[in-house]
Amino acid sequence: MKEMVMPQEGELLGRVIKLVGGDNIIVKCTDGKVRTCRIRGKIKRRMWIRDGDLVLIAPWDFKSDRADIIWRYISAHAEKMKADGLLQGLD
């Protein structure tokens, strides 16, 4: 199993609510906000993102209701994070 990417300072965990299209996704974040997120070009071609996936996001400094998706967690990592109590406010 690949190593797990943990949130750094300024990054949040979120659960995908809806795929809007055009690289935009609606995500509910651990801080309680719902943000419109953009799939970064670096991961756009490497991983598929579906409804219900756990993702790592970086909110924009100049527009707090928008963010970039940095990483998508596999189900095993999502289960471990849930067991560790890192997903408060998402379920």
Q: Which amino acid is at 76?
A: A
Percent with pLDDT over 70 in the chain: 92
Q: Enter the DSSP assignment of 74.
A: -
C-alpha closest to that of 86 among 1, 5, 2, 3: 5
Please state, rounded to an integer, the average pLDDT across all residues of the chain: 85
Residue 35: the pLDDT is: 93
Q: Class of 12-83 per CATH?
A: mainly beta
Residue 67 CA to residue 12 CA, distance in Å, equals 10
Residue 56 CA to residue 49 CA, distance in Å, equals 12
Contact 24, 55 (CB under 8 A): no
Q: Where are the chain's structural domains?
A: 12-83
Contact 47, 41 (CB under 8 A): no
For the stretch 2-18, pLDDT in tens is 677 777 788 889 999 99
For the stretch 42-59, pLDDT in tens is 677 677 888 999 999 999
What's the whole-model pTM score?
0.85
